[in-house]
Structure 1
């Protein structure tokens, strides 16, 4: 029995009906749970002696709206955690989907792993995912006056507002984006002796 087999058996035995799916791919396990079970499952993953995921390595948001060229059917936003058990020397990916696409909300795991603090703030800032129970959920990468969430697939690549220094007012000002859309046509350059061919 391999280490991955042992981990999979332990997860199945400890979490049972809370498992939406447990996928095995490229030597890694991905556990999918419902948002209503997410906090309890994370606590059990940390505290159960057979699992002991003491460290949250990463947490991020995902927008599935254009996933698979738009063939994805299901909820739009997900939160993905990458966990490490130092005790057992194994890793696990945990995914949960936000139940409401208009206002994506999931529980904060910051009380379980304090490393989640800035990761959850980043997912809030970039995707607009609200982490219920987070004590300091505010933007971390964009400006406080920033409008929207730039990693959402429907966010315009030019943004909504631009910030620039105005020398007349001698201060930074915000204004609507003034970038003119243009079509760029690549220019093909042909050389007679390119690559040493004659």
Structure 2
């Protein structure tokens, strides 16, 4: 039995009906769990001796709003966590969809893995996902006065405001975006000798 088969068997044995699905893609398992089971499942993945995921190596938000050219009809936001078991020498990706698209909220796993702290702040900053129980949930990559969440698919490419230094006021000021939206058309090369072809 391969290492991945062993992990899948153990996941199904230990977690049972708390797993919505377990799929293999690109040599790695992805376990999808319900939001109501997320915190308990993550604790079990860390503490159960047959699983022993000691390390959380990544956490990110995902916006599925235009997944598959707009034909996707599931929940919009998900949290994806990558776990590593050094003792068992295996990895696992855990995906959990936020139950409310208008107000995406998930429990924080910062008490389970301290490494989740800045990753959850990043997912909050860029996607607007709220992590309940996080003790310092504030922006980490954008300015504190930033409006919106720039990795959401409906966020405008130009943003909502721009900042610049005003020499008269001798300070940085915020103002509405002055960039005109434009269509970018790729340049067509019509040279006969382009690329050395004759």
Which TM-score bucket, shorter chain as reference?
A: over 0.9
Separation in structure 2 between the aligned mates of residue 186 and residue 72 of structure 1, nearest angstrom: 29
Match of 2:85 in 1: 85
Count, aligned residues: 198
Q: Which residue matches 2:149?
A: 149
Q: For 1:36, what is the secondary structure of its paired residue?
A: helix
1:170 lines up with 2:165 in the alignment: no
- Normalised by the length of structure 2, the TM-score is 0.96
Between 87-96 and 19-28, the greater mean CA deviation after superposition: 19-28
1:183 Cα shift? 3.1
Corresponding position of 1:59: 59
Deviations 1:41-75 (A, max 9, x none): 00000000000000000000000000111111111
TM-score for the superposition, normalised by structure 1? 0.96
What is the CA deviation profile of residues 173-193 of structure 1, one whole-angstrom value per residue up to 9, with x for unaligned ones? 001101112334444343353
Cα separation, partners in 2 of 1:182 and 1:50, compared to 1, 3 Å: same
Unaligned runs of 5+ in 1: none
Cα RMSD of the aligned pairs, angstroms, is 1.2
Alignment CA distance shift 1:170-1:74 (3 Å): same
> Which runs of no fewer than 5 residues in structure 2 stay unpaired?
none
The alpha carbon displacement at 1:197 in A equals: 4.2
1:113 match:
113
Q: Indicate whether 1:136 and 2:128 are aligned.
A: no
**CA deviation after TM superposition for structure 1 residue 17, in Å:** 1.1
In 2, the alpha carbon distance for the partners of 1:194 and 1:127 equals: 43
Structure 1 position 125 matched with structure 2 position 130: no
**Residues in 2 aligned to 1:18 and 1:196: alpha-carbon distance in whole angstroms:** 60
